[in-house]
Amino acid sequence: MTKITSLALVTLISALALAAPPDKAGQPPPSDPALKADIKAAGELTWSGDLASALKLAADKKQPIFIDFTGVTCTNCKINEKNVFARPEVKDLLGKYVRVQLYADTVPAEFYKNDPGEEKRDKDAEVNLEFMRKQFDKEQLPLYVIVRPAEQNSFTTVGVYDEGRINKVDAFIAFLKKPLANGRE
């Protein structure tokens, strides 16, 4: 498995927030019944580790999905979670999304109903990393993606924010607000 280190992240991170082409459709990795429905994590919000299940929930709630590609060993991810996600305006905006954290190094044990062991957690992280590569043509942490549920458990990509460590909080807030305006981007 390719591990993404903090040093490698520094070389991968760009300072731009890019919008993905509208209507880029995709399929999530298969749902994993071993994963919990939700846990308290970044910004003390509830997060899921299962995009396929989150798509069903988002369709029912008629909400977009915020995907946080993150890592246990990702320093910039933890900085963003502590210093940006916890800000009242950001936390309020994130609360309007179904939230998913997809770990790309190893999935933490607390994301499972019962700890399946390191080998399974690493294998699940490999699936998340491969999904990030194939669907969004990126291999960096953190990576933030907003999608909308589509037919047959698929999704449409609304936007991709790849600043890495968020230094431009106003730009990140604008990224979160845009899909919420009138239910469309």
Instruction: Catalogue the E-assigned strands of the chain.
Output: 24-26, 39-40, 46-47, 65-70, 98-103, 143-149, 155-161
Query: Residues 9-20: what's their mean pLDDT?
Result: 33
Segment 120-129, tens digit of pLDDT: 999 999 999 9
6-27+35-183 CATH pick, 3.40.30.10, 3.20.20.210, 3.30.420.280, 3.40.50.460:
3.40.30.10
- The SS3 of residue 8 is helix
Segment 125-159, tens digit of pLDDT: 999 999 999 999 999 999 999 999 998 889 999 99
Segment 48-85, tens digit of pLDDT: 999 999 999 999 999 999 999 999 999 999 999 999 99
Segment 155-167, tens digit of pLDDT: 999 999 999 999 9
Instruction: Please work out, in degrees rounded to the nearest 5, the angle formed at the alpha carbon of residue 58 by the alpha carbons of 15 and 147.
Output: 30
- The SS3 of residue 141 is coil
Ranges of each domain in the chain: 6-27+35-183
CA distance between the termini of the chain = 36
Q: CA-CA distances (angstroms) from residue 136 to 20, 78, 118, 123, 162?
A: 8, 22, 26, 20, 11
Q: Give residue 25's pLDDT.
A: 66
CA distance 144 to 101: 10
Across 74-85, b (16+ Cβ under 10 Å) vs e yields bebbbebbeebb
Sheet with 155-161, edge to edge strand ranges? 24-26, 155-161, 143-149, 65-70, 98-103
